[in-house]
Structure formats: C-alpha cells, structure tokens
Structure 1
Amino acid sequence: MSNLPFITASIKTFNEARGIEKTIDSIRRQLTAYPHEIIVADSLSTDNTRELAGAKGATVVTLVHPQERCCGVGHQLGYLHSQGDYLLLMDGDMELEDGFLDAAVAFLQTHPDYAGVAGSVQMDEGSNYEFKSRKQRLHKIYPLGDTDHLGGGGLYRRSAIEKIGYLTHRGLHGYEEAELGIRLRQAGYKLRRLDVPYFSHTSHAMPTLQMLRYRWRSRFLSGPGELLRSAWGKPWFRDALKITRNEAIFTLYLLALLLALVSGHGAAFAIVLLPLILFILLKAVKNRSLIAGLHSVVNLAAFSAGLIRGLFTPLRDPLQPPESEVVYRQGVEK
C-alpha cells in the first residue's frame, strides 16, 4: 500500500495567527477519510502563525527571503513540497465548509476533463468598502458552473498542474488564480464551481483607505498589471486582458482625463469628467451612500495606479523555485 497522500491541503499564510488553527481544524475534519498531508506555506510571518500550525500537526514550510512575499508564491511553495494526487488550496483566514471535499473528489474522479473545482463562498460583513462590495458581488466573483478561473482556491488535479509546469506564478502579487485558470484552459482543461458550500472567509477589519495603503505597500494592487506583463507575447494575452478589463478601461479613462486637464481646454475636460460624475452618482444610488460612490472611484483609481506599476515590474521566473526551508515536518495522516 502506498504511503503517499491522496490529498495535499496547501494553506498559504502571512500573519494568520488569529485564524490558522480554525482553518486547519476545518480541513482535517474532512480529510479523515483520505490519506493526506496538510502543508502550511508561510511567507515569513512576524506573529506565531508557524508555531500554531506546527502544534496542530501541519508541515510548515517558509520562505527564506521576505522580499519574495506575494500572493502567488504561497501555493507554489506548498505545491513544491507536496505529494498528493489532489491539491486543496486554502488561505489561513478561511474555513472549509463540511461536505465540500467529498463532492469535489467525486466530481473530479468522474470528469477527467476538469482540472479543478471549487464551490460557493460565504463572507462575513466587511468593515471596509472592498469587502462590503465583494460580498454584494459574490455571485459575479464566484459564479456557479463552468468558469474561467477559481478565485479563492479549490481542489485541483495534480496531473493537470504537472502538465502546465507550475501551480501559481511566484512573481504575482495578485490574480495568481486567474493566471492559473488561463494556463489550465489553454492546456485543454475545464474548471467548475459546484453548487455546494466551499469556504467561509473572515474579512480584513482595516478602514477603507488604510486597506488601500496596505494593498499598495504589499503590491497587491499591482496584480492586474503583473498579470498582463506575464501574459505578454503568449497565446493567452487576450484572456488576461479580458480578466483585467475593468482596471484597464478605467486606467485609460484616467489617462484621458489627465490629458484633457493638462490641455487647458475647459470644455474638453468637463466632457471627459462627466462620465466619472455619473459613475459616482450611480454607485451612490445603488449603495444609498455618496461615500460609497466616492470609495468606488478611489478603489478603481488605486487599482489603475497599481496596473501601471505592475506593467513595469520585472517578474521572477515562475519555473524557478523560491528558496525555502521546512520548520515543522509531519508524515502522511490516514
């Protein structure tokens, strides 16, 4: 009988001491029927995330260099240390919903043309604009049925990942799941979000503007531009552009607004400004708050600035493994 795990759960973390134990417990409850391993892929947390995860019996691997922290490196790090036939991707602020894993395994075993599946998502009441807006758009962000990518993770077939070379792009500060979905579909695979609960998520509690500053410092806002840069010259560039179209359109609009302003033609500037005013008013009416309308513009402007920044950011080779070390090692659980 093989000693290899059937499922590897990869949990990416950075300062997730508040929730990592609940994340591990929620996963382990559903893994008891399968030979498995739980890997916490940590980006050099400055709290005690690693110690808590190790005490829970997880294998803990960590980056060596803090400058390599980004959204894309986490699951790639977990993947490089994994052995399972299937890969369950989670974040350290999520809890896996009961029943998802059995449904996901059953679907993938009977649908070999699918590389990965996820499920429906539950979120708490966010305290800032980004997460409040995200909760309002859950059906758009996490649509059921066949989809172009699985935001928030999912259960993936290892053989499909091996076919495309790497799991997540270690150089992307965001949109790494979109980039993974693009490559899988280019390889002929499909992805599906099942009508079963997948995870519940704890939102960041930062105020809106503080959250944007954090996103800028961590370079998360550079994700759309980095995705486009990573796809440049590749057959899937149009797919990347489709995913980032809102940010790209708003970036072009802001550039047009800037040109109208510096041109000195007041009438031209007023004409170009009008769509922005209408957009703010529509958002304000929809959310019954002028502040929410203004926040939506500030949020889009921040992503536009990040897109430009990301376009000019050199990316690390996704096929080169990041330097890492194992700080806690556990065996296969049965």
Structure 2
Amino acid sequence: MTNPPFISVIIKTYNEEDGIAKTITSIQQHIGEYPHKIIVADSLSTDTTQTIASEMGVTVVSLTNPQERCCGVGHQLGYLHSEGDFLLLLDGDMELEPSFIEHGVSFLIDNPDYAGVAGVVEMDDVDSYEFKSRKQRINQIYPLGDCSHLGGGGLYRKSAIDEIGYLTNRNLHAYEESELGMRLTLTGYKLHRLDVPYFSHTSYTMSSLALMKHRWKGGYLFASGELLKGSFGTPLFKKALGTIKNEAIFTIYLILLISTLFTLNTTLIISVVLPLLAFIALKTIKNRSIKDALQSVFNLSIFSAGLIRGLFLPLKDPKQPPQHKIINEGKK
C-alpha cells in the first residue's frame, strides 16, 4: 500500500447532467491530500454528462453499445480503468460528505480483514411511494456496523476486488452491491458501515407510476430474476434467494392466486384471496393509508412480473469487459 494510499473514485452515470458537476466538486473538495483519480463511467448518456465531466478534467469512459446499460455495468467499467489502493464508489446524483474519506481509509488500514466500508446516507424529501417507503426503512437498508453488503456504494480495498475477479456484475440491473457483498463475504472478507455521513442523495421526482414505467423500461425490475439465474448452481444461490425473498414469495403467491381463479371454486378462491386482503389491511393500519397499501400490492405485482422476465434474459460473462471507449484522459 502506498503512503498515503491512492484512491480511484468511480462515478457511474447515465444522463446526470444536472448533478455530475456537484458530484465531482464534492469529491475534489473532500478527498483531502490523498492522491487520486476520478473516473466517470458513463452508460452512453444522451445529454451533456460526458461533456461536463470532461471539461472538469476527470477521466471519462463510456459504453459504446446502449444494450449494455444496467446498474451493474457502470462501476465495473470504471474498475477496468482504476488503480491504486482503494476504490470509492458513487453515483452521479450523489454528493460526498466531508470527513468520510479520512474515517473510511483509517478503518480499512486498521482492519485488514474488511474489504469495504461505508457511512450514513442522507436522503432528500420525495413524492413517490417507493422512495417514501425507502426513507421509512433507511436504517434497515443502510444498517450501521457489520453488514452483508454496502448499499449505495462505499470505499473498497482494491486488492480484495482483484482477488474475486470483478467489481460489479455487468448483467445486473439492480442488486449489484448485494451480489458484490455475497462474493466478498464468501471469500472471507467483512463489510462495515460507520456512523459517519457518507453521501447525500437526490431522488427521482417522478410519480410512483412513472417511476415504475421508467424502471421497467430500463430493466431495473428484472434484476431479481437476473440475480437468481446468475447465481443458480453456485454458492451464491442461497444468499441470492434470501435477498429477493419478498419478490419470490409474492411471485409464487400470484401464480397460485391466478391458478385458483381458473378453478371457479368459490371456497378455494376465497381462501387464497384472504391472505392478500389481510396484507392490505395490515399495510393500511401501518401506513394509515389504504392508497399506500394498494400501491404496495401494485409494486409487488410489478416486481414479480419483473422477476419472471429476468429469469429469461441472457447472461454474459461478468469478467469480460463491456464494449467501451475512453472519452477523456483525466489528470491524477
């Protein structure tokens, strides 16, 4: 390890012209005296993201095939051009908080059995049901202390990533951080979230229905099926199934419900519908809103459809580089 350690900062982007300058500036302001390289790994944006990043003097690499776009390909693309001791992962709608780098680097230096460390996430106010629900569960999504994976990115030991072969799975439209955590923990490494601010996040401002349409079109909702299919027959499968258990259980329930409707057996249909009605009632009481309860059922149904769709998508070798090109060679 160099002294001080060298950090490659990887920012994955797709049409982030409104936020990428803030993201880069926050890194430049808060990375301190650590030698570093900032890499914008772009999924062939159709706006000015690449131009803005290039003008700010950072390295910009881009996919050349739009069919390759997914959440898992971005940080992996940046990893192919990384160097040094640590990898800091961010998205183009995030801003790095002060002091996290210092705390993160110190933790990894003092704890060589840990492959990665993250911090506390600050989310803005949101309108959609999904992001309101996420904010309510923020302590479950981003738990402090030792954890199974680092949702939202983190600071990783590059040697650990080199050891497991690739950073993020280029097949996955989501769950790429969960899959990374599975591979690292199965190798014997640990992950940790410090009680230190890591980044602030700007959420989507679209409605719940518009967000679902956007995520179906972009493939995000197919990720649970992709994760299951990609892990089948490997030591990751049990952990993968546990990760998407809610979607899997609801998918099985919906298949049972639809099958029951074809029987035209009133007693049987009522017995199968009752658990759904009970779920809606409990959600209504918990959220004090029947609208939110029905939205939850709708979301689960769409995620279930996405799971099935994802099972039928072809998978590529995650260790093979995606088609890409260098747009700008940045300064270190």
Point out where structure 1 has 5 or more consecutive residues left out of the alignment: none
**Which residue of structure 1 lines up, in the alignment, with residue 197 of structure 2?**
197
The alignment partner of 1:263 has SS state of coil
Q: TM-score, structure 1 length as denominator?
A: 0.97
Is 1:319 the counterpart of 2:319 in the alignment?
yes
Q: Superposed, which structure 2 residues align to 1:13-162 within 5 Å?
A: 13-162=13-162
Deviations 1:169-189 (A, max 9, x none): 011111000000000011100
**Which residue of structure 2 lines up, in the alignment, with residue 293 of structure 1?**
293
The alignment partner of 1:309 has SS state of helix
Note the C-alpha offset of 1:236: 1.7
Deviations 1:34-86 (A, max 9, x none): 00010000001111011111112211100010010000000000000111210
**Which residue of structure 1 lines up, in the alignment, with residue 258 of structure 2?**
258
Deviations 1:15-39 (A, max 9, x none): 0011111111111112231000100
**Which residue of structure 2 lines up, in the alignment, with residue 241 of structure 1?**
241
Note the C-alpha offset of 1:283: 1.4
Q: 1:319 to 1:4 in 2, by over 3 A?
A: farther
Note the C-alpha offset of 1:162: 0.6
> Matched residues in 2 for 1:4 and 1:316: separation?
37
Deviations 1:99-126 (A, max 9, x none): 1111000000000000001111111111
Letter in 1 for 2:264: G
Note the C-alpha offset of 1:279: 1.1
Return 109-118 or 304-313, whichever deviates more: 304-313
> Matched residues in 2 for 1:331 and 1:21: separation?
16
> Matched residues in 2 for 1:289 and 1:318: separation?
43
Return 69-78 or 248-257, whichever deviates more: 248-257
Return 315-324 or 3-12, whichever deviates more: 3-12
Letter in 1 for 2:313: T
Letter in 1 for 2:258: L
> Matched residues in 2 for 1:16 and 1:196: separation?
26
> Matched residues in 2 for 1:172 and 1:75: separation?
12
The alignment partner of 1:143 has SS state of coil
Q: 1:177 to 1:237 in 2, by over 3 A?
A: same
**Are the equivalent residues in 1 in contact too, given 2:4–2:34 (CA < 8 A)?**
no
**Are the equivalent residues in 2 in contact too, given 1:11–1:40 (CA < 8 A)?**
yes
> Matched residues in 1 for 2:120 and 2:253: separation?
34
The alignment partner of 2:102 has SS state of helix
Letter in 2 for 1:241: L
Identity %: 59
> Matched residues in 2 for 1:207 and 1:31: separation?
35
> Matched residues in 1 for 2:136 and 2:84: separation?
35
**Are the equivalent residues in 1 in contact too, given 2:57–2:331 (CA < 8 A)?**
no
Aligned length: 331
Letter in 2 for 1:27: I
> Matched residues in 1 for 2:99 and 2:4: separation?
23
Q: 1:47 to 1:321 in 2, by over 3 A?
A: same
Q: 1:102 to 1:3 in 2, by over 3 A?
A: closer
Q: 1:147 to 1:3 in 2, by over 3 A?
A: closer
**Which residue of structure 2 lines up, in the alignment, with residue 177 of structure 1?**
177
**Are the equivalent residues in 2 in contact too, given 1:4–1:84 (CA < 8 A)?**
no
> Matched residues in 2 for 1:89 and 1:284: separation?
37
Note the C-alpha offset of 1:3: 12
Q: TM-score, structure 2 length as denominator?
A: 0.97
Note the C-alpha offset of 1:137: 0.3
**Which residue of structure 1 lines up, in the alignment, with residue 187 of structure 2?**
187
> Matched residues in 2 for 1:4 and 1:17: separation?
32
**Which residue of structure 1 lines up, in the alignment, with residue 303 of structure 2?**
303
**Are the equivalent residues in 1 in contact too, given 2:23–2:92 (CA < 8 A)?**
yes
Return 108-117 or 4-13, whichever deviates more: 4-13
> Matched residues in 1 for 2:84 and 2:246: separation?
37
Letter in 1 for 2:51: E
**Are the equivalent residues in 2 in contact too, given 1:5–1:83 (CA < 8 A)?**
no
> Matched residues in 2 for 1:199 and 1:118: separation?
9
Letter in 2 for 1:113: D
**Which residue of structure 2 lines up, in the alignment, with residue 227 of structure 1?**
227
The alignment partner of 2:331 has SS state of coil
> Matched residues in 1 for 2:53 and 2:289: separation?
42
